[in-house]
Structure 1
Amino acid sequence: MEIAPSTSRFKLYDQFELLEFPDKYVVKPIESPEEGFSVNRRDGDIKPLDENASSGSPTRVSTIYGVGGTIRLLAGTYLLVITSREEVGNFLGLPIFRVTAMKFLPCNEALRFATAQEKKDETYFRTLLQALETTPGLYFSYETDLTLNLQRRCKLAEGWNRKPMWKQADPRYVWNWHLLEDLIECKLDGFIIPILQGSYQVAELKLKNSPAVVSIMSRRCTRRLGTRMWRRGANLEGDAANFVESEQIVEINGFKFSLLQVRGSIPLLWEQIVDLSYKPRLKINKHEETPKVVQRHFHDLCQRYGEIMAVDLTDQHGDEGALSKAYATEMEKLPDVRYVSFDFHQVCGTTNFDNLGVLYEQIGDEFEKQGRRREHPRRAERSYQI
C-alpha cells in the first residue's frame, strides 16, 4: 500500500527544562518556554504555568526528554520523567527513541506526618518504583504513534493524526496509560507521551537491486501482564497472558508492506504453579466459562485483524499435550477460525529450524490467501507458544 505524506500531524514537545523549587517542580518546553506546567511537591497537584509559576531561583535546573505520567502512593504523588533517550531508527519515516533512563520525582511532603507503618509501607512501594525505573524495552516517538500497525492506520479517517498523540494511541499497547490520567485531565496534550514496551529492529538492504528498509516492531499488550511462569492462560474477559503483536514492515520504491503476527498464552483458564522444579506442572481449571473465554478472545482478534489462523506450537505429550488437547477441543467450537497443531519441539528441536518447512506446508495456502486480499495486504496469523 502507498501512504500519502501528511502535511499537518500532531507533534509533541521533544525537550524540556525541569526546574526544581522548594515547593514545586516546573516543566517547560525548551522550544516554547511560555508553555508548561507545575507540580506541587506537597500534594502532586498539577497546574498550567502562570506568570508567577517560575518566579524565584530554582534549586536545580536540568534537561529532560519527556514526562511519563504520575502515580499516587500512600503519602503522595510521584512524577515520572525521561532523563535519557537514544534514537534507534524511524517508523514510517519518523524518528523513534528508546528510553535509556527515567526517574520518579517525589511530591510527598505529607509523608512527614505519616505514621511509622505508613512510612514503612511508602518505603517499600518506593523500592518498587525504583525497579520500574529500570523497565527495559520502552520506545516512543514525538511525531507518530507507535501503538497502531500500518493496517489500522490505513483504515482511520483523514485527519486522525492531527489529534493529540494519546488520542491516536491504542490503550492496549500504551505501557504508561494509567500514569497519564492526571496529565490528560489537565489537558496537557503536548506533554503526553504514549510509551510502548516491546522491541524494535531495522535493517537496510537491497531487494531485486532496489534499496529497501525492513523494520520489525513488537508491541506488548498491557492486559494480563506477568512473568512467564506466574501469568498463564486467559482471564474471564478473554485477555491472554503476555500478548504481543509483532509487525514487519518492508519499505521499497515508495511502497510499504506490513506483515502482522500476534502471539500469547493459550487462551484457556489454566495456570502453572511455580515451585523448585525446572518445569512446574500445569493445571487446567475446569470452568463453565471456558468456552465463552475462548470465544471472547477470538472474537476480539477477528474484530481487530480479520481472518485468523491459530497455530498451536505446544508439545503433544505430557502436561503440554493435555493442554493442547483441551485447546483443540475448544477450537472445534469455532468454525470461523482455522486451528493448526504443530509440535515445534518434536519437529525442530533446538537447532533444526529448517524443519519449519513442515509447518509451512500446512499453513502456506492460508498464508498466501490472507496475503492476496486487496483491502488487507497482510492479515494476522495467530501463533501461540507457552
Structure 2
Amino acid sequence: MEIAPSLTRFKLNDQFKLLEFPDKYVVTPVDSSPHEGGFSVNRRDGNIKRLDEDASSENPTKVSTIYGVGGTIRLLAGTYLLVITSREKAGSFLGFPIFRVTGMKFLPCNEALRFATAQEKKDEAYFRTLLQALEATPGLYFSYETDITLNLQRRCKLAEGWNRKPIWKQADPRFVWNWRLLEELIERKLDGFILPLLQGSYQVAELKLKDSPAVISLISRRCTRRLGTRMWRRGANLEGDTANFVETEQIVEINGFKFSVLQVRGSIPLLWEQIVDLSYKPQLKINKHDDTPKVVQRHFHDLCQRYGEVIAVDLTDQHGAEGELSKAYATEMEKLQTVRYVSFDFHQVCGTTNFDNLGVLYEQIGDAFEKQGRRREHPRRAERSDQI
C-alpha cells in the first residue's frame, strides 16, 4: 500500500538555539528571532513561559545549538530541562529522515536548592545520578517530519489529514519514551517543540528483488508500560500489560508499493516473577491469583483490538521451571477460544545454531499466517512470549 506525502504535513524545526541567561534558559528555532517563537524556563523554579509572555532585552551569557527538547522532569528541589545535544541520521522511514540521539543533557532549574536542608541536598544528588543514567539511554530515535511510533497498517487506517496534527498528537503513547516528560510542554501548547522519542532499534537496507530495487526497513518499538530489566521485571500486571513488550515491523518498499509485517513480543502474560539472587538462573515463582484469567483476557483483548487476529507462540522450554510456567500458560489459553496458542520449544528444536529448524514452527502456523496476510482488515502478525 502506498502513502502519498501531504504538502501540509506538520513539521518540527530541526535546530534550535539555547540561550542561557543568569535567571533562565531560552529555546528558540535557529531560523527565527527569539521573539518570533520559543519559550523560556526559569532557572530558579522551572516555570515555563512562551516568549510572547517573557520578553527580555538582556544579552545571553552563552548560546549553543541543540537539536530538540525531550521535556522536563521535576525533582525535589526543582525542574530539569532535557535537551538533545547531538544526533546522527540513521536512515529514512517511509521517505522521511529518521535520527538517532547521540547526546542528551539535563539542564538544572533548581537554584532554590541552596536553601534546602542537608538531607534534601543529599536526596537531590541521588536523583541527579539517576538523571545522568537517563542521559545515556541507548537506542532513542525520532523524526522532525513524521511520527515513527505508528506502524504502517495503523497509518493507513487513520482519517485524512491526521498528519497535519502536531507530531505528538499523531503518536502512540505506548511507544513514546519521554511521554511523561512532555506533559508541561503540552500544557503550554508548545507544539512546535514537542518531540516524541522512540526507544528501540532501526535498520534499513537497499537490495534487489527480482531485478527491482527495494528498500527493507526493520524497526522495533519498545513499550513504556511495565518496563524493567531482565529478571527484575517479569509477567503481566493486573491490567494485562506485559513486561518488556516490543512491536517489531518489517517494511518492504518496491515499485511504489509498501508492505508491512508485524510481530510483537513480551513476557508470558501471567502473574509471575523471578526471585533474583546469586544463582545464574534465578528460580521462577508463579503467583496464584483469582484474577489470572482476567489478566490473560485483558492482554489478548488489547492485542486483538490493536492488531486484529492473533497467533500466540510460546517459545519457552517444555521442561523444568520454565516447563511449569509454559503449562500454566497453556492452561489459561485453553480458556481463551478467540486466540490460537502454539507451543514451540525453541531451545530444544533450534538450540544455538540450528535456526533452519524454524521451518518446523512455520509448518504449524504457516497456513494461518498466510491467511492473515490475505485479509485486508487484519494485519499479519504473531505474538511471541519468550522473555525467559
TM-score range, shorter chain: over 0.9
Matched, 1:384 2:385: yes
Aligned 8 A contact 1:26 1:54 in 2: no
- Confirm whether residue 208 of structure 1 aligns to residue 210 of structure 2: yes
Alpha-carbon distance in 1 for matches of 2:320, 2:368: 30
Residue 57, structure 1, aligned to residue 31, structure 2: no
Displacement after TM superposition at 1:6 (Å) = 1.6
Q: What residue in structure 2 maps to residue 151 of structure 1?
A: 153
CA distance in 2, matches of 1:289, 1:128: 35
Corresponding residue number in structure 1 for 2:32: 32
Contact 2:316–2:323, Cα closer than 8 Å, also in 1 = yes
Which residue of structure 1 aligns with residue 329 of structure 2? 327
For 1:6, what is the secondary structure of its paired residue?
coil
Counterpart residue number, 1:314: 316
Distance apart, 1:32 and its partner CA: 2.5
Query: For 1:50, what is the secondary structure of its paired residue?
Result: helix
1:4 matched to 2:38? The reply is no
Q: Is the aligned partner of 1:86 residue 2:88? A: yes
Query: Equivalent residue for 1:228?
Result: 230
The amino acid of 2:140's aligned partner reads L
Unpaired runs of at least 5, structure 2: none
Structure 2 CA distance for aligned equivalents of residues 256 and 155 of structure 1: 14
Corresponding residue number in structure 1 for 2:295: 293
Q: Give the partner amino acid of 1:28.
A: T
Counterpart CA distance in 2 for 1:347 and 1:83 is: 47
Listed as ranges, the gaps of 5+ residues in structure 1 are none
Q: Aligned residue for 1:22?
A: 22
Match of 2:176 in 1: 174
2:358 is aligned to 356
- Cα deviations across residues 150-209 of structure 1 (Å, max 9, x unaligned)? 000011000000001111001000000000011001000000000000000000000000
Query: Retained in 1: the 8 A contact 2:219–2:249?
Result: yes
Q: State the SS of the aligned residue for 1:124.
A: helix
Per-residue CA deviations over 1:346-379 (Å, capped at 9, x if unaligned) read: 0000001011111111010111101111234x42
CA contact 1:96–1:141 (8 Å) conserved in 2 = yes
Give the corresponding residue for 1:374.
376
Identical columns (%): 86
Aligned equivalents of 2:123, 2:2: Cα separation in 1: 54
Q: How far, CA to CA, are the matches of 2:56 and 2:87 in structure 1?
A: 26
Q: CA deviation at 1:55?
A: 1.9
Query: 1:52 deviation in Å?
Result: 5.9
Q: TM-score, normalised by structure 1?
A: 0.99
How large is the RMSD of aligned CA atoms in angstroms? 0.9
Q: Which residue of 2 aligns with 1:277?
A: 279
Q: In structure 2, the residue corresponding to 1:143 is in which secondary structure?
A: coil
Scaled by the length of structure 2, the TM-score of the pair is 0.98
The corresponding residue for 2:110 is: 108
CA shift at 1:383, angstroms? Answer: 1.1
What's the offset of the Cα at 1:51?
A: 8.0
How much does 1:307 deviate?
A: 0.3
Q: Secondary structure at the match of 1:147?
A: coil
